[in-house]
Structures are given as structure tokens and as C-alpha cells.
Structure 1
């Protein structure tokens, strides 16, 4: 009796293994329904027809994307705000058309375009993600430039830096002795302002003034580099 049961269990076991194997082979060979190409359709829908459809989006050339972006009202308003900021520096003799300017964490390049519009031609914008042709890709904490090659370094995004001290060190390093570091932060004063100024260990404070920038209350800080010769 025991041998009969043992034989029956073996047959059931082999049968289960056979069924499982055939099922697995069927799943491997069969094409998933989600990857079956859709039949031609006259529909104008832009949604993907299946999870394997990666060609449903229209890829615009970069120049066409830029024309669309640069013609928007929001873009031009922000560029205008930067132009007013830089024109004030021009009027004070702190920025000239021949100045070499570095814009750190320049985003999509509003400040780069603003500087170009007021006549400053030699402008370099960097960001962790490029936005050509205005902004190139570079790490703000490890700038790929020699020491002292710029007259002015500008940023409106110091507060977003992962390592603020390193960020500031790189701004100072790449600006020549006697050059200018310009920083815009949310409106601040007292100890908070002192902390920001204190991060610039090779510069002295020129001034810090409260301004309205792009509709927000901000503080503009001007630091003049004063590097000690070895």
C-alpha cells in the first residue's frame, strides 16, 4: 500500500514539474500584449499606444525650443529684472562692457542674456545641467577655470548650494584680485547677513542693500576680492 502511494506521489510530482516547465516556456516565448504594435490609426492622440511606444513625443530642435522659451512673458520679465540690477552696477563703475563675468548656478541663463543685452559680451554661465547656448554644464563647487580669470562672479542661488563655503571659495578663486563677487539672497540683515559675508574669506564687504528683484524682496551683497599674496 505504501509503495502504491509513493508511486502515485512521484507521478503527481513529475506531472506538476512538467506543467510548470511548459507554462514558463510559454511565458518566455509569448510576446506581451503591451508590446504588440498598434494597428495604424488616423487618431491624432499623442498618448503612447502601449508601454513599449517610446516615439509618441515630438522632439523639437534646441533652437526652436529656445525661441519659444525666450519669447515668453515670464522669461522676458526675469531678464528685465536682471538687466536693471546689472545696469545699476554699470552706473556705479563696477561693471563694464569689457568685463569678464561668470554666472554661477545660472539656471536657464536669464542673467547671461541680461548681461549680453546691456553690452557685456564676455559672459560665462554654468550650471549642473546645461541650457545651451547660454549656460554650460559645470559643478559650481569645482569650477573648471583657472584662478583669477574673471572680473566679476555673480550668483542668485547661493542659498541652494549643497556646500555654501565651497561654493563661495570657488567664486573667489576664479575672480581676479580686486574683482567683484555679487550675491543676491532673500532679504536679510543682522547675524544672517554677517554669516553670509563671513563665508567670503578672501573678500571685503563693499555694501549690502535691500532691493526689489523680480517682484521679491531681496538683499544684494557686493564683495571685493582682496587676496593676500603668498
Structure 2
């Protein structure tokens, strides 16, 4: 009996050590899952520095679900969708074609580019890209519009790293989390890839906007993995400034 007790005492440290390893393993799995969930669905907080007076998040969003619900009011509005797909369809495509042709002339976009339009609604900009020869183009929005727009949240793009050569968006003002919006663009762009944003600087955006931008300086800080190529004034459906960034080479 005494011998048996002594053997049990000798095994106790080893047993404790193995238990600690197993507990640590499950704890790491738990942390990984929590981190993944937080990236997929931000719930609260404001990642944008509050000291930045040139970029302000609008109040009133008590949760991420509240924000999504508010955005869907516009995206799913049947009257607006009818306008976007009928009266506005050709007019917007023609304007986007002019923008994209200018970018091609500057060698910032080519027919071989794999392109993404972020927040594309019914996909006029995607159709414009295809009409200027950039056939490998797709749009992303909360509500899909096949074949040009697939469903997805621009705060967590459903694409692998370094997927695209070119990304365009005119919905930066709709981002509740501007740093995640930009972070996802930089994540999915290839090194050397181009991002073009149309933003409102000189005028206030619509009631569905989640932030207000008062200069392009916050964009320069947010695109910390890219270099600004240029900015210029445009007339883009209520948006007045075009800003172009190139993702830094590795």
C-alpha cells in the first residue's frame, strides 16, 4: 500500500503538467475564435481616433445590427432600386466609364486588372469597368445584384489576401469603421495594387452616411500600407474628390 501511494505522488507533477498543456491549448482555441468573431462582426466602439477632427463618426448607432439595418433601408428601397436600374442605369455607367478611361490613360488601370467595386449596389461601376475592357470585375454590397454584385460586408470582405489589382469605392462615407474599411481594401489588394476612392469633402453626405470627412488627411493616415498617388476634384454623384492610393510593394 505504501509503495502504491509513493508512485501516485511521483506521477502527480507529470499529470499536472499535461493538464496545463491541455488547458492552454483549449484557451488558445477560444481566443482565436473570439478574435475571428470580432473581425467578422464589429459590435461597438469607434476604432477611428476621436482626436481626428477631419473625420467624425456620426452618433446614433447603438450596435452593429442597428447600423446594418439603417444601411439596408436605402439599399433595399424598391423605389431607389428601380431608379438605379432604369433611369439612372445608363447615365451612371457613362460617367463611370469616363472616370475609368482616365485611370487607364494614367496607367492606373488596365484590361488585365482584376477589379473590385466596394459598395456597388446594383453594379453600374462594374458594368462600366467591363465596357472599358476590364472584364474580370465584380462588385460587393450588402444586397447582391447578379451577375455583377455579390453579397458581402465591406468591413469584412469575403476574399483572400492579395486578390485584386484594382479596387474602387464611392461609399467610404457609409463606413462605420473607416479603419476596417480601409484595412480590408489593403488586405485584399495585391502589392502595387491601386485603390480609388470618391469621397465628399466640401459637402455633407446623405442621411445614410456613417461618417463625415472634412479633408483627405485622415485617408492618408488610414492607408498606412499605401502611398497616395494623387487627388483631384471630380463631380461624382454628390462626391467631389477622387483620391488614388497604391499599395506598397513587399
Can you list the C-alpha shifts for 1:129-169, whole angstroms capped at 9, x where unaligned? 11111100011111111111110111000111121110100
How many Å apart are 1:71 and its aligned residue? Answer: 7.0
Structure 2 residue corresponding to 1:107, chosen from 115, 118, 121? 121
Question: What is aligned with 2:245?
Answer: 223
1:75 aligned to 2:98? no
Q: Is the 8 A contact 1:187 1:210 kept in 2?
A: no
Q: How many correspondences in the alignment?
A: 160
The aligned runs of 1:192-211 (5 Å cut-off) are 192-211=215-234
Q: Please report the RMSD computed on the Cα atoms of aligned residues, expressed in angstroms.
A: 2.1
2-side partners of 1:71 and 1:166: how far apart?
Answer: 30
The aligned runs of 1:174-193 (5 Å cut-off) are 174-188=188-202, 192-193=215-216
Question: What is aligned with 2:171?
Answer: 157
Question: What is aligned with 2:132?
Answer: 118
Q: Is the 8 A contact 2:85 2:122 kept in 1?
A: no
1:91 aligned to 2:73? no
Query: Secondary structure in 1 aligned to 2:102?
Result: helix
How many Å apart are 1:187 and its aligned residue? Answer: 3.6
Q: Is the 8 A contact 1:155 1:182 kept in 2?
A: yes
Change (3 A) 1:191 1:69: closer
Q: Is the 8 A contact 1:99 1:152 kept in 2?
A: yes
2-side partners of 1:70 and 1:199: how far apart?
Answer: 31
Structure 1 residue corresponding to 2:155, chosen from 141, 163, 166? 141
1:173 aligned to 2:187? yes
Question: What is aligned with 2:69?
Answer: none
Query: Secondary structure in 2 aligned to 1:192?
Result: coil
Question: What is aligned with 1:37?
Answer: none
TM-score by length of 2: 0.60
Q: Which is bigger in relative contact order (C-alpha 8 A, separation at least 6)?
A: 2
Name which one, 1 or 2, has greater alpha-carbon Rg. Answer: 1
1-side partners of 2:239 and 2:139: how far apart?
Answer: 24
Change (3 A) 1:188 1:223: farther
**Which segments of structure 1 move beyond 3 Å, counting only runs of 4 or more?**
68-71, 187-191
Query: Secondary structure in 1 aligned to 2:193?
Result: strand
Change (3 A) 1:148 1:71: closer
How many Å apart are 1:88 and its aligned residue? Answer: 0.3
1-side partners of 2:116 and 2:239: how far apart?
Answer: 24
How many Å apart are 1:198 and its aligned residue? Answer: 1.3
Query: Secondary structure in 1 aligned to 2:90?
Result: helix
Q: Is the 8 A contact 1:128 1:137 kept in 2?
A: yes
TM-score by length of 1: 0.65
